[in-house]
Homo-oligomer: A and B are copies of this chain.
């Protein structure tokens, strides 16, 4: 395959924009379509942890994929800031993963044999790193490579960079259907007319599966709602991200903390609820007791694209040339944006793949 002259990206979330960015720097003419504003769904609802280690429970190819993307981040962030003028708010501090229960302690310790550089910290050692921790903390692991970015700024930087690179961005323009000629996907029907391109990329997150039905292909992805809160403390309580089972606390450069996140499989519902605010407050206070008296800033929710086996879909279908799928990144969309952008760019420009995509085939059996 040679470099395509033109590519249409369906879905301007962080995955779609990262692919568009990868292609645009190679000189490909890219059009990004979104049913609303760019990065308005899961992308900016995320906390922005680059948690290759903290989010992985077992070794294997997915762990390697996550680590590869994590390694790309500093340079990717720099380049994006250079082009866009917008800082991604990259912070090079790690994540302190703590255990509050015996079960969680056991799960965490089971990672020690295979996770590079992971070592068990006693309760006293965790409190030395973060003195505000609760006495209920039984110990933990410090993942020094699990840094963070601010998703809102990643989104703005990607948009600014794409425009600088001459890409076309069409917001408020839902895609209704793939246009298929023979068995080849050649374009898209939108509420603003038909568009054609050499290659089409589907990266519409939780809204992706229905567009594949004309191909008689059922992508088993579904929305998983996640609600977060932001609070402000008068003085900083923690300096690393602190992460326990079911709750994380991310310190920001602006003096706020992002606390997340619920996981709710209730369909296309992204309403925020006061009960989730209370729940997150209660969970976070169990980890850092002084959080009980913080000032509330805001709450929001997003719909992550979940998959049955927890792995994303990146790749092409066996009998639908012209179409590439990149979705299902669930809790790892921010982390995996650079590597997904790179892999799809390699795929579409005929370069050798840096990492094998077999485990992420949309046609795998979960």
The answer to whether the Cβ of A163 comes within 8 Å of any Cβ in the partner chain is yes
Q: A174–B291 Cα gap in the complex (Å)?
A: 29
Chain B residues, CB < 8 A from A293: 273-275
Chain B residues, CB < 8 A from A270: 172
The answer to whether the Cβ of A181 comes within 8 Å of any Cβ in the partner chain is no
Q: A36–B303 Cα gap in the complex (Å)?
A: 13
The answer to whether the Cβ of A58 comes within 8 Å of any Cβ in the partner chain is no
The answer to whether the Cβ of A245 comes within 8 Å of any Cβ in the partner chain is no
Checking B160, B192, B295 against A267 with a beta-carbon cut-off of 8 angstroms, the contacting residue is B192
Q: A267–B267 Cα gap in the complex (Å)?
A: 31
B296 x A274 contact (CB < 8 A)? yes
A residues 146-166 with Cβ under 8 Å of B?
153, 156-157, 159-161, 163-164
Scoring A residues 95 to 136 as 1 if CB is less than 8 Å from chain B, else 0, what string do you get?
000000000000000000000000000000000000000000
Chain B residues, CB < 8 A from A253: 86-87, 89, 153
B273 x A294 contact (CB < 8 A)? yes
- Least CB separation from A285: chain B residue: B275
A85 x B236 contact (CB < 8 A)? yes
Checking B192, B213, B275 against A189 with a beta-carbon cut-off of 8 angstroms, the contacting residue is B213
Q: A237–B193 Cα gap in the complex (Å)?
A: 31
Given pairs A163-B234, A190-B210, 9 additional interface contacts (CB within 8 A): A84-B235, A84-B255, A87-B253, A153-B253, A164-B235, A170-B268, A172-B269, A271-B295, A277-B281
